[in-house]
Structures are given as C-alpha cells and as structure tokens.
Structure 1
Amino acid sequence: YAQLVTQFPRRGPQFEAKFNEAKAKILEELVDRQIILEEFKTIGAFIKPNLVDDEIKRQMRELYNGDETKFREELKRSRLTMDGYREMTREKMVVSAMRAQQFSDAPPPLPNEIQNEYNDIKSTLRDVTKDVITFQKIFIPASDPQNPVATPDTQLALAEDLAKQLADGKDFSELAKSYSRDAYAENGGLQENVPRVDLSPEFASIIFEAPVGKIVGPLLDRQGFTIVKPIKIDFGPAPALDSKVREMVEERVRRKKTSQQYDRWIESKRKRAMIDIRD
C-alpha cells in the first residue's frame, strides 16, 4: 500500500484499480492459507523456530534494506508485535511447505531447466543491500518558503508539469537547476552511487525497478514530490547456484510442472471449506 501511495500522489482510477487488484489477490491468498494451515495441523507437522528467524532476517534484508529500525517502525505502524509477525511468517512457511508437498511426485527437473530457471530469477535472489544507483532528481516541496501562496495541490501540479516536460525531451539538468529545492539542484539534480540502504524502501523499490533513462514520478513522500531519472544501476551480487539455492530452484521448476495439479488440489479444498469473510 505504501508503495502505491508513493507512486500515485493523486490516487485516482489507476490507483484504485491496482489497489483493488492487490486486495483481491490478498483475499484469495488468505483463504488458501487458512485452508492449508488446517491441512498442516491434520498431518501433525511443524516448522523449526530457527528457520522462522532466518526467514525474518531475509525479509528484513530484502524489504527494508537490512535496516532493523525501519523494520520495527513498520511493525509499529501496522500494530504488530514481533511475536505476531513471527507467527505470520511461520504460517507463510507452512503454506510454502504444504505446497511443496503437492509437488513431491513431479518429475525431477532436468539440468537445463534448473539453469534456465536460475537465470530467470537470480536477480531477485541478489543481496539488495549492495544495490547502488546513480540518478537525477527534482524535488518539489509540498510547501515552498520561497512561494508563500503555494499549496500541496499547486506544488503537485508543478511536479506533474515538469514530469511531462521531461518526458517530452526537456533537459533534466536545466529544469532541476530552476525548480528543484534540495542540495543537489545546482548540480542538475545528480546524485551518484547512492546505496539502496540510504533510500526509503518504497522509493528504492520504484526507482530500482525503473528502466535506465525513464522519467519516474512525481513520487509522493512526507516532504513533497520527487521526479527521478535513473542514470546507472548496479545490482548487488546474486548467490551462486549452490546446494541451498539449487534446492529452491528445483522446487520452483517442479511447481511449474505441476501447477495444474496444485490448482485442482486447492480448488477441491476450497469447495469443502467453510470460510467466513468479513469486511
């Protein structure tokens, strides 16, 4: 949700469409998760606590740039305790384990299938705390001391007009020098070799996924509106295809091979389940 708010300052139809799409997907996943958790109880299985802790560390590294303070602040904003989050994580791991069980009779992945799958996903397995980016930025504050009559709405309109000018080919450096209100304006908005961990998670998620040279924004934060143009992106190293990574990749290949089998299994469980959904 935070990333959508950052990406769509005016909300609007596009925001609503993406929000409703995400909401429907989450609801379906919650229903399926509850069904699978009941199955897990039935067979008397369990997840070791140290595995849950390892997964939380991985999420902290990938979702919060390894910043434990930001992670705990997000828990507080979400009104979650650490114990509550640990239980949520355990449940997700149960779901993953039960899904994997449904693929146990899949034909073994071939070496080329494993390599191809690894090549497709290795960037998502990288150490994101080592990501570095060079970009140009124009920052328009929500309230501008140099313009007492400015309002958040007029400032957003200005940022949107600048983004359109940039998309039409206007020089980024010149517009940054004229309009940006931060320490980098005089240098054309250029910020070089910025570590991902120095950026907010929402901001980093958006600009590191953007193609180099694309005008991104305006993006909303607490201070105002930001327009970004990525110049160079250096991603952190991906793990080698060792035994631990290979096991995960093999499971993904099996899942793809037996996706129809899993879909039939979960659908049969849904039909028999009694789920109470409340707004």
Structure 2
Amino acid sequence: MTRSFFSFLLSLAASGLTLPTPSWAQSSSNGIAAVVNGRVITESEVTEAVKAQEQIFRMQMREDPEALNKALAELEGSALDSLIDRELILEEFKKIGGAIKPQYVDDDIESIIRDSFNGDRDAFITELARTGMTMRKFRDLREKMIIVQVMRGRATSEQPPPTPRDVQQFYQDHMDEFREGDMIKISTITIPKFTGDPTRTPEDQKRLAEDVRSKVLAGADFAATARSYSQDSRSEAGGEWPLMERTQMKKSIADAAFGVKEGGISPVLVDEAAYIIISVDAKKYGDAKPLEELRPQIERRIRQQKSKEALDSWLEGLRRKATIRRFE
C-alpha cells in the first residue's frame, strides 16, 4: 500500500467503510455476518474491514508492539460493529430526508487527488485500478463517508461547553498525567513466558508467577525470592532497581507500579515475553503543571469526552430501534 493511499484507507476505516472485495476472493467468504433492518452485511465485508484496519494499525503502531497486539485482538468484533453502525447511520440519513450535493463529493475527490497524489489524476486512477476499484465505487464510498461524518457531527453538535467545575474535576482526576518528575524505586521478579523447555507452557509459567507472588504475600523475603526465581538483569541484586523517573519506564509497567502503594506488591503483570511482580519500595511525586496552563488542553479533552458520550448514546438509540441479527 502506498503512503499516499494510506490517508484514504484511514478515513474509510474510521467511518466503517472498506474497499470492495474482488470477485475472485468472495467465493469462499460470501456468508452472512449480520442483517440490519433487512440489509445484509456479508462475511467478506467484515473480512475486508478487518484487513483494511489491520494495515492501518500496523502503520500507526509499528513502534508499539504491545498496543498493536491489543488492537488486533479486538479488531474482528469491532469491525462488524462498525459496519452495523454504518448501516444504521446511512438509514437514519435517509429517514430525515438528507441529501449530499454532488459538488461536495466532487470537491472531496479533487482534494484527495491534490493532497495525496500531488494533483496527478492519472496516478490516482492507477491506484484505484490497482485495488480493483472503479471510480463509481470510489465515489459511492466517499459519499457514504461524508454522510457518516455529517451525521456523527450532527449528533455531537449540541454539547454544552465545559464548566469551571468540570475542568477542576478533570484536573484532579488526571493528576498523574499532569505531574512532571515522578520518581519510583521498585524491585521486580520476572518469570519468562517461554523457557526453551517444550514441556513448559506460558500457562505453566503464569501459574508459577502466581505461586511466587503468593509466597511473597505470605511473608517470604522479596529479595531472596527474586534471587531464587527471577530471570532478569536485576535478579542477583534481589530484584532491586535504582530510583527511576516515571518516563524512564515502559508505560504499562510505570502505570502499574504507581498504582501500588508504598510497600505493596503488584498483581502478576502480563508483559510481552514475561510475567512480572513488582514490589514498590518508595515513591516521590513531582509537581503538577498549574491548572491555568493546562486549561485549554483540559477543555478540549472534556469536549471530546462529551462528544463521544453523545455519539455513543445516539448510536445506542439507533440500535435499540433497529432489527439486528448477527450470524457469528
């Protein structure tokens, strides 16, 4: 996939739209995934939605394998949900007598050619042909995307502005994000998921980690236990790490560690290749940025949150009124 076409795929996926499945690929995946008010969503549509979104995730999250794996694990179910919501939105648009002027679609396509293909219409047509898409189909997809965007915007347009109380509460609730210079001293026990022993599975290793944690909670010395069981660079030091800034740590580990009180033991944390137990020896919190400095950012996030809540509520209302059958 060319980088110029990536922005197009991203906009389609965000709106629950996908590239068409070539006819030669449909024969083995033309079952029914869902029926929405009589309109069929095929398994091939879901498959193509998954493939398109997977490509996008792999480009967006190539520097964060943990986030990528989590997103991919949730992808298949969310793809069908997005397609169902798309049908509900398009149907609602028809019910209210909505219409998109052809000029809007023309302008949209021209902006894609200008921004993504440097104004080269031939390159644009070549890219469409490479994906097996006709201009008519592309235009239809763009029109649907515009409809979905318009209807989503309509559903979220009447939100009241954040109040001073909203801003203050958000500031207090997200203080961890706004502090700078948080420090922590921890000790760890690391149990690898994979040992090289074919008789030991990751599930076996997780049970071992849970057993080790139980020993510590029952009073076993953490340092001695780390020397016996841990397999990381700090095991010989009893699992002890020097004082570290929060920003020096992997985010998932830092969030878990700062969520444990001083002197406490974390649950068994699941990392990419290991199970980790953290003992929090000491914490020192930095200073938070002043509220007034953060106010514009906080107000923007509150507006985004309220818009999401309004959109979710609107979509849930459409779902309640619809007849939806899934064939999963």
Deviation string 1:88-117 (CA, Å, 9 cap, x unpaired) is xx99xx6986554131xx3x5543343233
CA 1:127–1:121: 2 relative to 1, 3 Å: closer
- 2:188 touches 2:239 (CA, 8 Å); kept in 1? yes
CA 1:114–1:36: 2 relative to 1, 3 Å: farther
AA aligned opposite 2:303: E
CA distance in 2, matches of 1:211, 1:253: 29
CA 1:179–1:195: 2 relative to 1, 3 Å: same
CA 1:232–1:2: 2 relative to 1, 3 Å: same
Offset at 1:195? Answer: 4.7
CA distance in 2, matches of 1:35, 1:102: 23
User: In structure 2, what is the equivalent of residue 192 of structure 1?
Assistant: 242
User: In structure 2, what is the equivalent of residue 118 of structure 1?
Assistant: 171
Offset at 1:189? Answer: 0.6
Alignment of 1:240-255 (within 5 A): 240-241=291-292, 242=294, 244-248=296-300, 251=303
Alignment of 1:1-279 (within 5 A): 30=82, 34=86, 100-103=156-159, 106=160, 109-124=162-177, 126=178, 132-142=183-193, 151-152=200-201, 154-196=204-246, 199-221=249-271, 223-233=273-283, 234=285, 237=288, 240-241=291-292, 242=294, 244-248=296-300, 251=303, 265-271=314-320, 279=328
CA distance in 1, matches of 2:243, 2:257: 14
CA distance in 1, matches of 2:253, 2:99: 43
CA distance in 2, matches of 1:35, 1:195: 48
- 1:174 touches 1:188 (CA, 8 Å); kept in 2? yes
Q: Where do 5+ consecutive residues of structure 1 fail to align?
A: 7-19, 50-89
CA-atom RMSD in angstroms: 5.2
Q: Where do 5+ consecutive residues of structure 2 fail to align?
A: 1-64, 113-144
- Structure possessing the higher radius of gyration over alpha carbons: 2
CA 1:32–1:211: 2 relative to 1, 3 Å: farther
Offset at 1:137? Answer: 0.5
CA 1:113–1:179: 2 relative to 1, 3 Å: closer
Deviation string 1:142-177 (CA, Å, 9 cap, x unpaired) is 4668xx797345544432221001122322112112
AA aligned opposite 1:162: V
TM-score, normalised relative to structure 1: 0.50
Offset at 1:277? Answer: 5.5
- 1:142 touches 1:225 (CA, 8 Å); kept in 2? yes
CA distance in 2, matches of 1:143, 1:121: 36
CA distance in 2, matches of 1:236, 1:29: 42
CA 1:236–1:247: 2 relative to 1, 3 Å: same
User: In structure 2, what is the equivalent of residue 80 of structure 1?
Assistant: none
- 2:257 touches 2:266 (CA, 8 Å); kept in 1? yes
- 1:117 touches 1:253 (CA, 8 Å); kept in 2? no
CA 1:237–1:138: 2 relative to 1, 3 Å: same
Offset at 1:268? Answer: 4.0
Offset at 1:183? Answer: 2.6
CA 1:228–1:246: 2 relative to 1, 3 Å: closer
CA 1:278–1:211: 2 relative to 1, 3 Å: farther
CA 1:155–1:118: 2 relative to 1, 3 Å: closer
- 1:31 touches 1:275 (CA, 8 Å); kept in 2? no
CA 1:181–1:96: 2 relative to 1, 3 Å: farther
- SS in structure 2 at match of 1:102: coil
AA aligned opposite 1:151: R
Deviation string 1:118-163 (CA, Å, 9 cap, x unpaired) is 3223434x389x6654211012334668xx7973455444322210
CA 1:35–1:237: 2 relative to 1, 3 Å: farther
- 1:36 touches 1:98 (CA, 8 Å); kept in 2? no
